[in-house]
Chains A and B, each alone.
Chain A
Amino acid sequence: MKHRQRPLLILAVLLALALIGELTYYTYLSKREDPIRQISLIVYGSDPARWENLRQGAELAASDLHAEVTLITMSTEDDALEQISLIEREIANGADALLIAACDSETVGAYMAHTRPKIPYMFVESGILTEDVLAASDEEMASSLAHTIDENEKDWIKVALIADHLERESVRKRLEVMQDPGVKYADEVVLWERNEQEKNKKAQFFLQRELTEEAVDVVVALDNSSMEELLDATVNLNKDIKIYGIANSNKSVYYLDNRLIKSLVFEDEFSIGYLGVQKVLDEKKREQEETIRFEVVGYDAVYEAAHQKLLFPHVR
Chain B
Amino acid sequence: MKIRFGHFFDQIKRAYKQRSIQLIISLSFTAIAVFGMVFLGVALYSQFSARARENTIENDEQVLEQVSWNLNTYIRNMMSVSDSFYYSVIKKKDMSKDSFLEEMDLLYEANKDNLISIACVTEDGALICASPVANRKEGVDFCAQEWFRNAEEKIADIHFSTPHVQNLFENSNYRYYWVVSLSRSVELTSLGNIRKGVLLVDMNFSSIEQMFSKVNEKTSGYVYLVDRNGEIIYHPRQKAIYSGLIQENNLALKDCEDGVHTEIFNGVERSVIVKTVGYTGWKIVSVTPTRELALSLSQTRMFSIIILTITIFLVLFGNIFISSRVTDPLRKLDDSVRKLEEGNLDVDQIYIGGSHEIMHLGRTIDSMVKQMRKLMDDMVKEQRDKRRSELDALQSQINPHFLYNTLDSVVWMIESNRYKDAITTVTALATLFRISLSRGDNIIPIRDEIVHAQNYLNIQKVRYKNKFESSIEIEEGIKDCCTIKLIVQPLLENAIYYGAMDEDSRITVKGYEKDGDIYIEVSDNGMGMPPEALENLLKEKTRTRGKGSGIGLWNVNQRIQLYFKGDYGLSIESELDEGTTVTIHLPKIPYAEYKNEKNEKNEKKGGGA
Q: Do A and B share a complex? A: yes
Q: Which residues of B131-172 have CB atoms within 8 Å of chain A's CB atoms?
A: 139, 164-165, 167, 171
**Interchain CB contact under 8 A, A316 and B209:** yes
Could you tell me the dominant secondary structure of chain A's interface residues?
Answer: helix
Q: Chain A interface: which size bin? A: 35 or more
CB <8 Å contact, A314 and B178:
yes
- Residues B309 and A18 in contact, CB atoms below 8 Å apart: yes
Q: Is B442 among interface residues, defined by CB-CB distance under 8 A?
A: no
Given the known inter-chain contacts A30-B302, A60-B240, please indicate yes or no for A271 contacting B209, CB distance below 8 A. Answer: no
Quote the shortest CB–CB distance from A316 to chain B (angstroms). 5
CB proximity of B15 to chain A, nearest CB, Å: 14
How many of B's residues come within 8 Å of A, CB to CB? 33
A23 within 8 A of B: yes
Flag whether A235 is at the interface (Cβ < 8 A).
no
Contact B313 A11 (CB under 8 A): yes
Q: Which of B299-317 contact A (CB under 8 A)?
A: 299, 302-303, 305-306, 309-310, 313, 316-317
Expressed in whole angstroms, the minimum distance between the Cβ of B326 and any Cβ of chain A is 15
List chain A residues, Cβ under 8 A from B167.
303
Contact B306 A22 (CB under 8 A): yes
B238 contacts partner chain A, Cβ-Cβ < 8 Å: yes
B176 interface residue, CB < 8 Å from A? yes
A314 / chain B contacts, CB cutoff of 8 Å: 178, 205-206, 209, 238-239
> By CB atoms of chain B within 10 A, which of A26, A275, A293 has the most?
A26
Q: Is B609 an interface residue (CB 8 A)?
A: no
Kindly count the residue-residue contacts between A and B in the assembled complex, taking CB atoms under 8 Å apart. 85
Report if A308 contacts B (CB, 8 A).
yes
Contacts of A56 in B (CB 8 A): 239
Cα–Cα distance between A123 and B580 once the two chains are bound (Å): 122
Complex CA–CA separation, A314 to B309 (angstroms): 52
A140–B73 Cα distance when bound, in Å, is 49
Q: How far is the CB of A313 from chain B (nearest CB, A)?
A: 7
Q: How far is the CB of B212 from chain A (nearest CB, A)?
A: 12
**Are the CB atoms of A22 and B309 closer together than 8 Å?**
yes
Assembly CA distance A259 to B176 (angstroms): 16
User: Among the listed stretches A37-45, A106-114, A162-170, A249-257, which one makes contact with chain B, having 4 or more residues with CB under 8 Å of it?
Assistant: A249-257
B374 contacts the other chain (CB 8 A):
no
Cβ of A14: which chain B residues have Cβ within 8 Å of it?
313
- Say yes or no: is A127 at the interface (Cβ < 8 Å to chain B): no
- Verify if B249 is at the interface (C-beta below 8 Å from A): no
Is there contact, CB below 8 Å, between A309 and B316? no
Bound-state Cα–Cα, A19 to B310, Å: 7
B424 vs chain A, min Cβ distance (A): 83
Give complex CA distance A274, B243 in Å.
10
A254 to chain B: closest residue by CB: B174
State which residues 273-295 of A face B: CB under 8 Å: 274-275, 293
Binding site for B on A (CB under 8 A): 8, 11, 14-15, 18-19, 22-23, 25-26, 30, 49, 56-57, 60, 250-251, 253-254, 259, 268, 270-271, 274-275, 293, 303, 305, 308-310, 312-316
Chain B residues within CB distance 8 Å of chain A: 139, 164-165, 167, 171, 174-176, 178, 205-206, 209-210, 237-240, 242-245, 298-299, 302-303, 305-306, 309-310, 313, 316-317, 320
Can you name 17 A-B pairs with beta carbons within 8 Å?
Answer: A11-B313, A19-B309, A49-B174, A250-B176, A259-B139, A270-B240, A303-B165, A308-B164, A308-B165, A309-B242, A309-B243, A310-B243, A312-B178, A314-B178, A314-B209, A315-B175, A315-B178
